């Protein structure tokens, strides 16, 4: 289309015309019934994309970096230890954010271009006899290298080690692009932004949260105000937010979820795999 940039970057990605038109519609009252219906549609649609029935969805105005903070401050306390699998720029950023909150970060340093090795994760967990590690941090698809890690294998490592640590996973560049299953893979918090597989402009921080993570949040002592997911979830039940939401982006999100549903997630994953292979060749 003349005058329209053709982005060939990791993200933000191109926004479909249907989504652009949805975003451009007039603002509505974010305390009214039409907005409540919009919120409930978005939450239900995201559950399908995260492939979760048991988990709850949390949406904030924000970014993927904000989603890191939301994930960490709601589940951990200063002085807690975590195992951070560092295999690229963004996994390093996830670990750095944890350290900024006084969380002690044990780094599993990996070569850039490598995936997360489940055997090394298991070895670290087995060595933690007193279960001081409260969480394992990983990135499903490391944007800086394009390498996808096997989250199911990481969960299996936790299970084999009989370790109670939370599994916290960044899915910013994989959700709605690569098969990712919150419930089946036992992910406790999966976090993302909308500007890649969800085909939106940046501006949202989105999490899928397990019951285990919610229980952890009851004891978490990291300071939290804006990122506190308790008030968000409570107001979401009524189709509201505890603050002014990103109304226009939610219009776009509803439309992007409709597009994904029309194509079907298995077909979306096949298309991305085919295009990725074309780029490699």
- Asked whether the predicted pLDDT for residue 7 surpasses 90, the reply is no
Q: What's the pLDDT tens digit per position in 187-199?
A: 999 999 999 999 9
For residue 256, give the 3-state DSSP assignment.
helix
Which residue, among 137, 141, 150, has the nearest Cα to 92 in the 3D structure?
A: 137
Match domain 48-280 to its CATH number in 3.30.465.10, 3.40.640.10, 3.40.50.1970, 2.40.50.360. 3.40.640.10
- Asked whether the predicted pLDDT for residue 185 surpasses 70, the reply is yes
- Asked whether the predicted pLDDT for residue 2 surpasses 70, the reply is no
pLDDT, residue 195, reads 97
- pLDDT bracket for residue 279 (50, 70, 90): confident
Give the percent of the chain with pLDDT over 70. Answer: 99
> DSSP per residue over 158-189, as a string?
HHHTT---EEEEE-TTTTTTS---TTTTT-SE
Which residue, among 112, 122, 123, 61, has the nearest Cα to 89 in the 3D structure?
A: 112
- Asked whether the predicted pLDDT for residue 249 surpasses 60, the reply is yes
Mean pLDDT value across the chain: 97
pLDDT, residue 5, reads 82
CA distance 200 to 50: 16
- Asked whether the predicted pLDDT for residue 3 surpasses 80, the reply is no
Which residue, among 67, 3, 5, has the nearest Cα to 209 in the 3D structure?
A: 67
- Asked whether the predicted pLDDT for residue 1 surpasses 60, the reply is no
- pLDDT bracket for residue 11 (50, 70, 90): confident
Q: What's the pLDDT tens digit per position in 128-175?
A: 999 999 999 999 999 999 999 999 999 999 999 999 999 999 999 999
pLDDT, residue 149, reads 99
CA distance 234 to 249: 21
pLDDT, residue 281, reads 87
Q: What angle do CA 61, 70, 56 make, to 5 degrees?
A: 85
Domain ranges of the chain: 48-280
CA distance 245 to 61: 6
Question: Region 104-129: what's the mean pLDDT?
Answer: 98
Q: What's the pLDDT tens digit per position in 39-82?
A: 999 999 999 999 999 999 999 999 999 999 999 999 999 999 99
- pLDDT bracket for residue 32 (50, 70, 90): very high
- Asked whether the predicted pLDDT for residue 277 surpasses 80, the reply is yes
């Amino acid at each position: 289309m003349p005058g329209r940039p053709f982005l060939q970057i990791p993200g933000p990605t191109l926004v479909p015309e249907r989504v652009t038109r949805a975003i451009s519609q007039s603002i509505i009252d974010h305390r009214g019934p039409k907005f409540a219906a919009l919120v409930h549609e978005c939450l239900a649609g995201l559950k399908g994309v995260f492939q979760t029935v048991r988990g709850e969805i949390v949406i904030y105005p924000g970014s993927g970096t904000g989603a890191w903070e939301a994930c960490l401050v709601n589940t951990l306390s200063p002085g807690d230890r975590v195992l951070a699998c560092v295999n690229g720029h963004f996994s390093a950023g996830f670990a750095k954010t944890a350290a900024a909150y006084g969380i002690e970060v044990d780094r599993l340093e990996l070569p850039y271009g490598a995936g997360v090795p489940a055997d090394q994760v298991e070895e670290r967990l087995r060595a933690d006899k007193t279960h001081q590690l409260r969480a394992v941090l990983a990135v499903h698809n490391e944007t800086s290298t394009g390498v996808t890690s096997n989250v199911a294998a990481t969960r299996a490592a936790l299970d084999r080690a009989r370790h109670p640590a939370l599994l916290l996973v960044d899915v910013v560049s994989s959700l709605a692009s690569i098969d990712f299953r919150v419930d089946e893979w036992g992910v406790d918090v999966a976090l993302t932004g909308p500007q890649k597989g969800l085909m939106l402009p940046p501006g949202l921080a989105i999490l899928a949260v397990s019951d285990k993570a919610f229980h952890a949040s009851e004891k978490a002592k990291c300071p939290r105000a804006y990122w506190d997911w308790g008030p968000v979830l409570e107001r979401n039940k009524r189709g509201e937010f505890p603050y002014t939401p990103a109304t226009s982006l939610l219009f776009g999100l509803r439309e992007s979820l409709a597009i994904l549903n029309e194509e079907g997630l298995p077909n979306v994953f096949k298309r991305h795999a085919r295009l990725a292979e074309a780029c490699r060749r």
